[in-house]
Structure 1
Amino acid sequence: MLNKSLLPLIAIALLASCGGSDNQSQQPIETGFPSCSVPDQNEVFFKFLQNTYLWYDQLPGAINPQAYSSVDAMLDDVRFEQDRFSGFQDRQDYDDFFENATFTGYGFSSDQSTDLNAYIVRYVFDNSAAGLAGLSRGDRLTNINGFSVTQINRELLSNETVFGPDQVGFTINITFEKPSGEIINTQMSKIAVSTNTVFASQVFSSNVGEVAYLSFQNGFIEASDAELEASFAQLGNAGIDELILDLRYNSGGRLSVAANLASLIVGRSAVNDIFTTLTYNDKNSNRNSSFRFTSKLNALNLSRVVVLTTPNTCSASELIINGLAPHMEVATIGTATCGKPVGQNPDFYCDKVLSAINFRTVNSLDQGDYFDGLPPTCLVQDQIVADWGSLDDPVYAEAVNYVNTGSCSAPTASKSRSRQSIELTTSPSRLDYQALLTGHLH
């Protein structure tokens, strides 16, 4: 299980390699403090910020490295006010998420914000203890390890108290309710969970032809490319005319994976065109570069894609929407995205990874800066009440309606993004980024 205190950092990790982790070697920096002490790390990481931070000109001229109890405290003090994305994490957590795709836990994600009396299961990883216990999307966990969720919320019990230590074999009793109303009491034990990112892939026939639905969650990570290629190979054999792409709980990751996914969707009509352009600060303008659409054997060659969104749809997920929009129609169903048109290449020192914003992203029409999120074409509040691809899911049901009719079932101010224009509106109030991921991994 991931500790509750690590969740914001994992959220950052989902974004930290947006644009690709270049892992450039750093020149040694002499600080005068013991190596890897807190003051030493404060000074080294501040110097990294002075060189690569997108908003380096908004930093103080200098800091007192001894004035901060941690690198997190230092960053919180010096960050630019618009920056709600930069952060630190331990190197092992970073490697486990991006490279190893593993963690110790039961293997599911939950929404803990919408029901004070239950944790709602967002998704369950393949071959996980949670899956073997019978958990699936839409289930309501009401009792965990002897604690009712009502008690957990009332007493603010810690994740370790409720779910136990990060120890393979640790076993808990759980009670959960299926959407059908069936109550199940069972046990599950922690294992080394191998995370997947494709959670569902299915095809159905409609009055516009063959429609594919693909649920892609939990990051754009190293393993995603192979999963996506396999899924699109199957979809290509089905002669797909339309695609519903579910990115509701995908908060980003590697930009190279996003470029591959976009290429698989749009296909031959955009090959060699710009998908997104990265612009660094004026000290690093030599690093400015573009990702282009590439030729893909399993590309669907579509003219429209319908994307499901929530405030957890972030970074690389938003690049899919913004980057495809000049080349095809992109309709979004759900709620506004998180608003992250910027990205990070990580800096490493001691056992810490600094993922600080150091470039902005725009599409081939130079459109970006959607810090208030990308608005939905059809506004529908997310409700986790059924498994993937069920018409009982109101967001999915609205997407199916849009595919069939080309319009929303209820009026919405936004329009679909198309080759002609992109409408980037602002939301009157947006959640702080650290509050976006209210669903947790266990």
Structure 2
Amino acid sequence: MSPRAVLVGGVLILSACGGGGGSGGGGPVGNPGGGTGWTAGVFQPAANFEARCAIPRTGTDPATGRPYVDRQGTTRDENNWLRSISNDLYLWFSEIVDRDPSLYQTPAYFDLQKTTATTPSGRPKDRFHFSMATEEWRLLSQSGVSAGYGAQWTLLASTPPRDIRVAYTEPNSPATSTPVNLARGARVLMVDGVDAINDGTQTGVDVLNAGLFPDQAGETHTFTIRDAGSTESRTITMTSAAITSAPVQSVRTIDTPGGRFGYVLFNDHIATAEQALINAVNTLAAAGIDDLVLDMRYNSGGYLVIARSARLHDCGPCAYG
């Protein structure tokens, strides 16, 4: 969870600086640490650049109820903050190629602040590097609300021939409505007429991303899917909505010759997860389980306090997977 947790903290502050990378113009803003010039391998304290934004926000921050702390800065300031905070906190900081922050717009520079190493199986070592607008993250982390269909996609193969599946669904969502009825294991074959398995063009990839990951509620997209265990395909249409995530799901017991196991699918370390975790643990404790399986395969991280809470409530003997 460490890479995701570190980067979320960075994204929240960076997003306060105008989102799209700012103007990119103007000279460097002075700071106590000196200029913002770049020397490879030399890092100023991240605090020197904190809240220095190419496009400062004004008004009241809804997360704090206080005025925004943004100050006038430049895109270079934003990138220098990213560079320093990544060097301080990123798990694989020594594997980041140090690049001149004045040469990139902020979103592009953020994408470079990660390791490019792969695992022995060929998967990216860092699969958790992403950015999110501050307000989008606030809604998700505090109330579990985000735009989507209520289907969590998992990319078993992200390049042609792709294998895009449904990992799980949210209750009472477009994905589980009749006649859509998506369920775990369903494979995506086409999105808005584009071959989801074999299309390798940039235009095709853009269509796939737009359909699979809608930016806002009210977007309608068409999918051809094949349900798990079926040989037939079917076409469905879904309209994105404001989905309230159920971060704790599938609480149940499994009886085996070795004893009774409790099972919990734990998908997000967000604020709404804490009470749900408490309820799940109490339910399983009352059922007399011998061991607990906390399934975190699809958990993208979030608040460290929720991670601590999960460990305190759930252990005893635990198996994390």
Alpha-carbon deviation of 1:137?
A: 0.9
Alpha-carbon deviation of 1:78?
A: 8.1
TM-score, normalized by length of structure 1?
0.47
Distance across 1 between alignment mates of 2:7 and 2:132: 10
The 1:231/1:91 distance shift into structure 2, 3 A limit, reads same
Alpha-carbon deviation of 1:215?
A: 1.4
Match of 2:205 among 144, 147, 157: 157
The 1:71/1:255 distance shift into structure 2, 3 A limit, reads same
Alpha-carbon deviation of 1:49?
A: 6.2
Match of 1:127 among 161, 172, 197: 172
Match of 1:210 among 246, 260, 263: 260
Alpha-carbon deviation of 1:202?
A: 1.1
Match of 1:226 among 255, 269, 275: 275
Matched residue, 2:33: none
The CA RMSD measured in Å over matched residues stands at 4.2
Matched residue, 2:286: 237
Q: Does 1:101 align with 2:148?
A: no
Matched residue, 2:39: none
Distance across 1 between alignment mates of 2:7 and 2:184: 27
Kept after mapping to 1: 8 A contact 2:6/2:89? no
Number of residue pairs matched? 249
Distance across 1 between alignment mates of 2:213 and 2:310: 37
Matched residue, 2:64: none
Alpha-carbon deviation of 1:236?
A: 1.6
The 1:14/1:178 distance shift into structure 2, 3 A limit, reads farther
Distance across 1 between alignment mates of 2:164 and 2:198: 12
Q: Kindly indicate whether structure 1 or structure 2 has the higher relative contact order, using CA contacts under 8 Å at least 6 residues apart.
A: 1
Q: Write the letter of the residue equivalent to 2:185.
A: G
Kept after mapping to 1: 8 A contact 2:265/2:295? yes
Matched residue, 1:145: 192
Q: State the SS of the aligned residue for 1:263.
A: helix
The 1:112/1:80 distance shift into structure 2, 3 A limit, reads closer
The 1:35/1:229 distance shift into structure 2, 3 A limit, reads closer
Listed as ranges, the matches of 1:24-423 within 5 Å are 31=29, 36-37=54-55, 40-43=74-77, 46=80, 54=88, 67-73=102-108, 89-114=132-157, 116=161, 118-132=163-177, 133-153=180-200, 156-158=204-206, 159=208, 161-163=210-212, 166-181=215-230, 183-217=233-267, 219-266=268-315, 302=316, 304-308=317-321
Distance across 2 between alignment mates of 1:166 and 1:72: 17
The 1:86/1:177 distance shift into structure 2, 3 A limit, reads closer
Q: Write the letter of the residue equivalent to 1:172.
A: H
Q: State the SS of the aligned residue for 1:112.
A: strand
Distance across 2 between alignment mates of 1:192 and 1:87: 20
Alpha-carbon deviation of 1:239?
A: 0.9
Q: Write the letter of the residue equivalent to 2:320.
A: V
Distance across 1 between alignment mates of 2:233 and 2:265: 27
Matched residue, 1:421: none
Alpha-carbon deviation of 1:233?
A: 1.9
The 1:134/1:153 distance shift into structure 2, 3 A limit, reads farther
The 1:69/1:230 distance shift into structure 2, 3 A limit, reads same
Q: Write the letter of the residue equivalent to 2:105.
A: S
Q: State the SS of the aligned residue for 1:110.
A: strand
Distance across 2 between alignment mates of 1:253 and 1:98: 7
Distance across 2 between alignment mates of 1:143 and 1:196: 27
Distance across 2 between alignment mates of 1:173 and 1:237: 44
The 1:200/1:36 distance shift into structure 2, 3 A limit, reads same
Distance across 1 between alignment mates of 2:110 and 2:272: 31
1:301-338 superposed Cα distances (whole Å, 9 cap, x missing partner): x3x32222xxxxxxxxxxxxxxxxxxxxxxxxxxxxxx
Runs of 5+ consecutive residues of structure 2 not aligned to the other structure = 14-27, 31-35, 37-51, 56-71, 118-124
1:197-227 superposed Cα distances (whole Å, 9 cap, x missing partner): 223111122223321111112x311111122
Alpha-carbon deviation of 1:170?
A: 2.8
TM-score, normalized by length of structure 2?
0.62
Kept after mapping to 2: 8 A contact 1:243/1:306? yes
Q: Percent identity?
A: 20
Distance across 2 between alignment mates of 1:125 and 1:238: 25
Kept after mapping to 2: 8 A contact 1:15/1:251? no
The 1:229/1:16 distance shift into structure 2, 3 A limit, reads farther
Q: Write the letter of the residue equivalent to 1:127.
A: N
Q: Write the letter of the residue equivalent to 1:54.
A: D
Alpha-carbon deviation of 1:251?
A: 3.2
Q: Write the letter of the residue equivalent to 1:96.
A: L
Distance across 2 between alignment mates of 1:151 and 1:52: 35
Alpha-carbon deviation of 1:43?
A: 2.0
Runs of 5+ consecutive residues of structure 1 not aligned to the other structure = 1-10, 23-29, 267-301, 309-442
Kept after mapping to 2: 8 A contact 1:110/1:121? yes
